[in-house]
Amino acid sequence: WPDRLIGDLPNIYLYASNNPSEGAIAKRRSGATLISYLTPPVAQAGLYKGLIDLKAAIERWRGLEPTSRERVECVAMLQAQAAALDLVDIEPVWNAEPGGDADRQVFVLAQQVLELEYTLIPCGLHVTGRAPSEAECVDMLLAMSEAWEGQRPPRASVRALVDGLSVELAMKAGHMHSDDATVLAMHGLADAGRMLAKDTEVDAILCALDGRYIRPAPGGDILRTPEVLPTGRNLHGFDPFRIPSAFAVKDGAEQAQRLLDRHMQESNQLPESVAMVLWGSDNLKNEGAPIAQAMALMGALPRFDSYGRIAGATLVPLATLGRPRIDVVITLSGIFRDLMPLQIRMLAEAAFMAASADESVEQNWIRKHALAYQNEHGCTLETASLRVYGNAEGAYGSNVNNLVESSRWTGGDEIAETYSRRKGFAYGRTGLAVQHTALLQSALADVELTYQNLDSVELGVTTVDNYFDTLGGITQAVKRARGGVTPPVYIGDQTKGDGAVRSLKEQVALETRTRMLNPKWYEGMLESGYEGVRQIEVHVTNTMGWSATTGQVQPWVYEQLSQTFMLDPDMRNRMAKLNPTASMRVANRLLEASDRQYWQPDPEVLAALRQASEELEDRLEGVFEGATE
């Protein structure tokens, strides 16, 4: 139909520079010429309101003598401040006496505050035709330097670069050491700064409309792939024969170990089986690291032919692996299925090879579970070892997001059934999809944790509904398969440094504090008017999506969202003027969350929220104070 509808017209498509995977589909389906645009500028979240006071209190506590009485009083105040911000529990009281737990508790709290302060967040929305401001350029370049070099140069030096000073003068402005590596990195930042400071997107659109040539450019995360600059170019994707890359294989093995280490901290044992979500977009941005992570968990490596092209899988000997093979149930996005058939066959081959290996089932949990299913159902080992699942050809998503957004669902079993029905198509070594819903249910019954990577600063787990649609959906399906037991849910945050593995509860709390409750974030959204308010509403809806699918959202999140956006009359009025429909939806989502018992507000809070919803509905219909006929 795209070919029939467009006929012989050229297809010019303005596209986000960080999304080469979907861009490749647009090229293939309708011959699109892509014109890239910048993603929103990013900056450190910083601290606000009570968090600033808490940081000051921590610094004051550190400066006190360990045996002073004032220190005992200070730690009590610290705990009370942190509890008021829902960072710690008010009981039991921390013990500041010698040998007590206060030092450890305050250290952990200080690390939490530090993470909140330095987490990178998107600031507002990108506007095509408007280059980032000088301040936004400085923040972006600082984030880029940290992504490239693992360190941030002095802000004064980066500010000097943005102001047009030479690298030498900029380094002097920040009192930087002049070694070769630093000079080279600063030259890279200077080049990136010059490209950021000038809008190239409108010129590119006009050039395309004139039927002229649009230069190609790689797509990807600007923090990791500065080659995407300048924007206003025709995105291209990747070499499918080179994914995962050698770097990704190494990185994926490290990510796999971080996940196992985190789970060991929680349960003191390795998981026999994990469920992992793979997206096409993430694997293109980081050269296939999540694919390599899944392979590493299974104790497998990609196999390449003499030309360096991917040809299949090979097993790592157990003696070299040093631990049992983890059973990995992999679910794919529709875009992954469309763009990476070679990788699908490699993953399926790795699972089959592990199931067929002449190894003890105590050291090979893939074989253990496959043999159990084969014995119960009398199928072939090839069928019993199917571990790669996704949609049927031509279908996308699990529809869990549509259920939540429409509010037309009654319970977790309905979500689990929707997910399993849509994602119950198994992909084997042939790469062909065959529906195996019963086998998926059996595999999910063994799953002890669910997991997905987070690879872009601009996208968080509450930014788009795809995260709870996929990871949330499979978590609910695992819960049903395990008789009502919700597995731990982990997020592998690869956006900064070596990465970190957080529980979903921790990740939602982090994003809520650094984004939705942060004036730096929501004021940036409100500057974008109608669309900014819609984005706030999307975050609230997606937060509720995580409650619906995992139950991992803490009640204080809804309480604070209500206080920030709906129970503050000035804020509610600002939002309603910009986008009355989205504003009313925010109030209704918070009420729905209460109705579904995700939080239990005090009666006066609930009454105020209902009144706010009614006022917003009246405003939408033109029935409010000051309205004219």
List beta partners, residue 450: 275, 489
Residue 628 pLDDT: 38
Segment 538-556 shows an average pLDDT of: 97
Which letter does DSSP use for residue 322 in this model? -
Residues 498, 541 share a domain? no
| Confidence tier at 627 by pLDDT (50, 70, 90) | very low
**Domain ends where: 91, 118, 145?**
118
Domain-located, residue 455? yes
Beta strands in 252-335 (DSSP E): 273-278, 300-304, 310-315, 327-332
Q: What is the C-alpha separation between 567 and 401, in angstroms, rounded?
A: 27
Residues 448, 536 share a domain? no
pLDDT, mean over the chain: 92
Report whether 260 contacts 270 (CB < 8 A).
yes
pTM, rounded to two decimals: 0.91
Q: What is the C-alpha separation between 122 and 135, in angstroms, rounded?
A: 14
| Confidence tier at 224 by pLDDT (50, 70, 90) | confident
Cis peptide before 132 (omega within 30 of 0): no
Q: What is the C-alpha separation between 351 and 486, in angstroms, rounded?
A: 25
CA dihedral 379, 383, 384, 389 (to 10 degrees): -140
Say whether pLDDT at 82 is over 90.
Answer: yes
Residues 318, 431 share a domain? yes
Q: pLDDT per residue over 116-126, tens digit each?
A: 999 999 998 99
Residues 6+ apart with CB under 8 A from 87: 54, 109, 112, 113
**Domain ends where: 455, 482, 505?**
505
Range of the domain at 358: 241-505
Q: pLDDT per residue over 527-542, tens digit each?
A: 999 999 999 999 999 9
Residue 624 pLDDT: 58
| Confidence tier at 30 by pLDDT (50, 70, 90) | confident
Residue 72 pLDDT: 79
Report whether 501 contacts 491 (CB < 8 A).
yes
36: left (phi over 0), alpha (psi -120 to 50) or beta: beta
Domain-located, residue 433? yes
Domain-located, residue 229? no
Q: pLDDT per residue over 130-140, tens digit each?
A: 999 999 999 99
Residues 524, 477 share a domain? no
Q: What is the C-alpha separation between 584 and 420, in angstroms, rounded?
A: 33
Domain-located, residue 629? no
Residues 533, 461 share a domain? no
Burial label, 251 (beta-carbon count in 10 A; 0-12, 13-18, 19+): buried
Output 612-618 pairs: Cβ under 8 A, ≥24 positions apart.
612/566, 612/567, 612/572, 612/587, 613/566, 613/584, 613/587, 613/588, 615/572, 616/572, 616/576, 616/580, 616/583, 616/584, 616/587, 617/584
**Domain ends where: 444, 472, 505?**
505
| Confidence tier at 31 by pLDDT (50, 70, 90) | confident
Residue 73 pLDDT: 81
Say whether pLDDT at 594 is over 80.
Answer: yes
Of 47-51, 96-100, 561-565, which gets the smallest average pLDDT?
Answer: 96-100
Segment 327-345 shows an average pLDDT of: 95
Residues 436, 537 share a domain? no
Question: Cα 304 vs. chain centroid, distance in angstroms?
Answer: 30
List beta partners, residue 390: 425
Domain-located, residue 44? no
What percentage of the chain's residues is helix, strand, coil (to nearest 5)?
A: 55, 10, 35
Q: pLDDT per residue over 565-592, tens digit each?
A: 999 999 999 999 999 999 999 999 999 9
Residue 456 pLDDT: 83
Residue 178 pLDDT: 81
Report whether 223 contacts 196 (CB < 8 A).
no
Place of tokens 């970190």: 500
- H or E element, residue 34: strand 33-37
Residues 542, 475 share a domain? no
Q: Output the six-digit token pair for 361.
A: 């089932």
Domain-located, residue 546? yes
Q: What is the C-alpha separation between 543 and 525, in angstroms, rounded?
A: 17
Number of domains forming the structure of the chain: 3
Domain-located, residue 135? no
The share of the chain scoring above pLDDT 90, in percent, equals: 77
Residues 569, 500 share a domain? no
Residue 629 pLDDT: 34
Domain-located, residue 192? no
| Confidence tier at 71 by pLDDT (50, 70, 90) | confident
Three-class SS of 8-29? CCCCEEEEECCCHHHHHHHHHH
Of 41-50, 71-80, 381-390, 413-422, which gets the smallest average pLDDT?
Answer: 71-80
Residues 603, 534 share a domain? yes
Q: pLDDT per residue over 478-523, tens digit each?
A: 999 999 999 999 999 988 777 899 999 999 999 999 999 999 999 9
The share of the chain scoring above pLDDT 70, in percent, equals: 99
CA dihedral 43, 574, 618, 604 (to 10 degrees): 80
Place of tokens 């990871």: 471
Residue 626 pLDDT: 46
Residue 623 pLDDT: 63
| Confidence tier at 76 by pLDDT (50, 70, 90) | confident
Segment 163-170 shows an average pLDDT of: 93
Q: Output the six-digit token pair for 104.
A: 């450890």
Residue 101 pLDDT: 85
Question: Cα 95 vs. chain centroid, distance in angstroms?
Answer: 37
Say whether pLDDT at 240 is over 80.
Answer: yes
**Amino acid identity, residue 494?**
Q
Q: pLDDT per residue over 375-424, tens digit each?
A: 999 999 999 999 999 999 989 999 999 999 999 899 999 999 999 999 99
Residues 535, 479 share a domain? no
> Which position has the higher pLDDT, 431 or 21?
431
Residues 304, 405 share a domain? yes
Residues 457, 548 share a domain? no
